[in-house]
Amino acid sequence: MRDFPNSTTSQTALFAQDEIQIGRLTLIPGLRHDRYELEPESDSIFAADNPGITPARLKFSSTTPRLGALWQLTDVHSLYGQVAKGFRAPPYNDVNIGFTNLLFGYTAVPNPNLKPEKSTGLELGWRATGAAGSVGLAWFDNRYRDFIDSQFMLQCPGDPSCSPLAPTTFQSVNRAKVRIYGLEARGEWRLARDWTLRGAYAWAHGDDQSAGVPLNSVAPAKLVLGVQWRDKKGPFGAEAVMTAAAKKTRIDSSQYGAGVTPFVSPSYQVFDLFGWWRPAKGVTVQAGLFNVFDKKYWLWSNARLLNANAQNLDLFSSPGRNLSASAKLEF
């Protein structure tokens, strides 16, 4: 069985950048050229599972500029900004996927006409770094043309790409005009010699502007807080981390079909514990206890295509309390 044919992708990029210093202002212009080529190799296994489908070959190239600026206000505070063009070639498994699960009534079909994704991104931010720690705040606003929405649920049976093999068909598609903007913040504060408080927050808002609907692939807001202890004179360290995510609120219900109520991932808070030991140079032993309080929760990325009345919702939830350990040798 093959979900997609054996494929060879060739990616080449050439990048040039300069830094121009004018007092406390630094200008950073850059230019990048990308070349992408996809060569699928169909065999008897893929052909038997996907009769009548000829895998598509792709070849794209793009040149994208960017301009960044950094203004050092003081020895502690700085402002920065960047405007950049972007390019992303269609992934091989989006272009030539072929998978059918009749037991659960769905199929994924290829899209040989998938176009490269192009974007224009703006980022503005502020950073402060001092003896007690650091903090940063960034605002981003990205505009996309031919945005690649992987494994989109088609409106069946009306869509001509729907498969007759199963009632539900998924296909990666281009969305003509998409905007995603948001806010990111992170900081670190040294509470005492061996103790550090760390945090990060991310919020994003996405819209398919060509259809006038929310972009379902955008995750809800997320907050991560951690307290770390590291023995400066010894080989031990530990950290306690809380991860919290908001309930998913903006959903394009039309993607799920008439009469279907989409599953909404609820908010959650999860606590993890980590520890490490370095008994010798180049040797690290790590252990972690994840989801300490055995919380049942769903990541929106795993649950965004589910029906609220589905009987198998628990199958898509994240793991309960679990333990892992590892050892690493570097030489």
Q: Are 146 and 174 a contacting pair, CB within 8 Å?
A: yes
Three-state secondary-structure class, residue 267: coil
Task: Judge whether 202 lies within some domain.
Answer: no
pLDDT tens digits, 120-169: 999 999 999 998 999 999 999 999 999 999 888 888 888 888 888 788 88
Q: What is the pLDDT of residue 53?
A: 80
Give the pLDDT score at 164. 83
In a domain, 257, yes or no: yes
**Same domain flag for 211 and 229:** no
Q: Which two tokens stand for residue 217?
A: 């692939």
Q: Are residues 211 and 246 in the same domain?
A: no
Nearest of 231, 226, 201, 330 to residue 288 by alpha carbon: 226
- On whether both 165 and 38 belong to a single domain, the answer is yes
| Alpha-carbon separation of residue 211 from 161, 208, 254 (angstroms) | 19, 6, 11
User: Are 211 and 240 part of one and the same domain?
Assistant: no
Cβ neighbour number for residue 214 with a 10 Å cutoff: 18
Give the per-residue pLDDT at 313: 92
pLDDT at 158: 81
Burial of residue 122, with CB atoms counted within 10 A of its CB: 0-12 exposed, 13-18 middle, 19 or more buried: middle
Distance CA 11, CA 81 (A): 28
Q: Do 224 and 159 sit in the same domain of this protein?
A: no
* Boundary (domain end) residue, out of 199, 215, 231: 215
223 and 87 belong to one structural domain: no
* Amino acid 225: pLDDT: 98
Q: Is residue 197 domain-resident?
A: no
Residue 109: predicted pLDDT:
87
Mean pLDDT by 10 residues, the chain (331 residues): 88 96 97 95 84 87 97 96 95 86 83 93 97 96 95 83 84 95 97 93 96 94 96 89 96 80 95 95 95 97 87 92 96 89
Whole-number pLDDT of residue 312: 86
Are 15 and 129 part of one and the same domain? yes
Residue 256 lies in a domain: yes
Tell me how many degrees the CA angle 204-209-211 measures, rounded to the nearest 5. 125
Asked if residue 228 and residue 178 are part of one domain, the reply reads no
Assign residue 47 the CATH number of its domain: 2.40.170.20
Output the CA–CA distances (angstroms, integers) from residue 144 to 178, 252, 316, in the order listed: 5, 18, 30
Q: Tell whether 162 is covered by a domain.
A: yes
d(C-alpha 123, C-alpha 142), whole Å: 8
Q: Quick one: residue 212, left, alpha or beta (phi over 0 = left, psi -120 to 50 = alpha)?
A: left
Residues 229 and 105 in one domain: no
> Residue 313: which domain range?
219-331
CA neighbor of 98 nearest in space, from 55, 65, 69, 135: 55
Domain endpoint, select from 168, 198, 215? 215
pLDDT for 237: 94
Task: Answer yes or no: is 201 within a domain.
Answer: no
Domain count, the chain: 2
CA max distance for the chain: 67
Backbone phi, psi, residue 131, to 5°: -65, -30
Do 109 and 63 share a structural domain? yes
Within a domain: 200: no
Closest residue by Cα to residue 273 from 260, 286, 285, 282: 286
Q: Does some domain include residue 194?
A: no
Instruction: Give yes or no: residues 84 and 22 share one domain.
Output: yes
DSSP string across 277-298: EEEETTEEEEEEEESTT-----
| 26 and 102 assigned to the same domain | yes
CA distance 273 to 292: 8
Smallest CA-to-CA distance from 214 within 250, 242, 189 is with: 250
